[in-house]
């Protein structure tokens, strides 16, 4: 019941208000639709730093480890290719 102990939900509400309050809504259905769109974006598309830059949806449904493994593979491959390009510059 104290705002000090409700940090995450308070931050969520502040994020929602900062997005939803950018527009004027002329009927309750428009506001409900805007809130629904924000919730979808927040849970399914927005990467969260505290979740290792994953979406809450990915973490909730157990896809996080698979995504992080794929990212590590892509990073290793990218670094390997960059080293090849860098080393070719000095071989000539």
Q: Is the residue at 11 inside a domain? A: yes
- 26: containing domain: 1-46
Residue 72 resides in a domain: no
Residue 71 has a CB neighbour count (10 Å cut-off) of: 13
Q: What is the pLDDT along the chain (92 residues), one digit of tens a residue?
A: 666 677 878 888 888 888 888 889 999 999 999 999 999 999 999 999 889 999 999 999 999 999 999 999 999 999 999 999 999 887 76
Q: Assess contact for 84 and 71: CB atoms under 8 A.
A: no
Is residue 5, in this structure, part of any structural domain at all? yes
Q: Is residue 69 part of a domain?
A: no
- Does residue 27 lie within any of the structural domains? yes
Q: Is 54 strand, coil or helix?
A: strand
Answer whether residue 10 is part of any domain.
yes
Count structural domains, the chain: 1
pTM for this model (two decimals):
0.68
């Amino acid at each position: 019941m104290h705002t000090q102990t409700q940090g995450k939900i308070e931050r969520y509400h502040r994020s929602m208000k900062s997005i939803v309050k950018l527009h004027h809504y002329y009927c309750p259905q428009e506001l409900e639709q805007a809130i629904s769109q924000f919730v979808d974006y927040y849970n399914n598309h927005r990467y969260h730093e505290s979740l290792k830059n994953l979406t809450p949806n990915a973490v909730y449904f157990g896809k996080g480890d698979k995504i992080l493994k794929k990212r590590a593979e892509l990073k290793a491959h990218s670094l390997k290719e960059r080293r090849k390009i860098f080393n070719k510059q000095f071989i000539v």
